[in-house]
Chain A
Amino acid sequence: KQEVTQIPAALSVPEGENLVLNCSFTDSAIYNLQWFRQDPGKGLTSLLLIQSSQREQTSGRLNASLDKSSGRSTLYIAASQPGDSATYLCAVKSGGGATNKLIFGTGTLLAVQP
């Protein structure tokens, strides 16, 4: 059974700092991995999608890496800003067809202090 863990559960950093959020999963047979952010009381905003054959994806100040063999993904945020404050969730999709669903981690609550 796939389990997804995110460390740390909460993180507070001063503005301008570079930071890394971690996501680990127990079954390396994943289809893809997606990073989301969630603002309080809101839906999920997709940040980056990494297919199982890829090692990393970049979008602006965000870079996500994937190491399937070790069951790990990291989300790197460069030059953090107060607007980056949110909960960050990683989700893995294992297989397709009948197993076509996302398994979510518990999230990292990020606070960027001005």
Chain B
Amino acid sequence: KAGVTQTPRYLIKTRGQQVTLSCSPISGHRSVSWYQQTPGQGLQFLFEYFSETQRNKGNFPGRFSGRQFSNSRSEMNVSTLELGDSALYLCASSPDSIYGYTFGSGTRLTVV
């Protein structure tokens, strides 16, 4: 059974650019969540999508956005990158509320 797949694994971008990260959930999982992990702030919730609808959003600026497709694959986009956006971005999938989450290996974003 395939796990949660995140691409790319590593990215280096310049300040002011935009970036798109991709997440393919476990087959049959309709909930996809995104988290940002930094040494200073730990793991913080970005947003959750369920059946193509954003169901919940964390406390991040509007530069962070996402979407989910009909096959449950999800993308997150960060526009006008700042140095502070350098982080490990993790995607998690779940069948729904009562179940636990399975995380991907993450995308390491470095903004220079």
Contact = CB atoms under 8 A, between A and B. Distances in A.
A105 to B, nearest CB: 8
Contacts of A41: 88, 108
Nearest to B99: A49
Contacts of A61: none
B97 interface: yes
What is the predominant secondary structure among interface residues of chain B facing chain A? Answer: strand
B98 A102 contact: no
Interface size class of B (residues with CB under 8 A): 20 to 34
Contacts of A76: none
B45 interface: yes
Contact of B56 (A31, A43, A101): A101
Given A32-B98, A46-B100, A97-B97, A102 B33 contact: yes
A100 B97 contact: yes
A31 B105 contact: no
A100 B105 contact: no
Interface of A: 31-32, 34, 36, 41-46, 49, 51, 89, 91, 93, 96-107
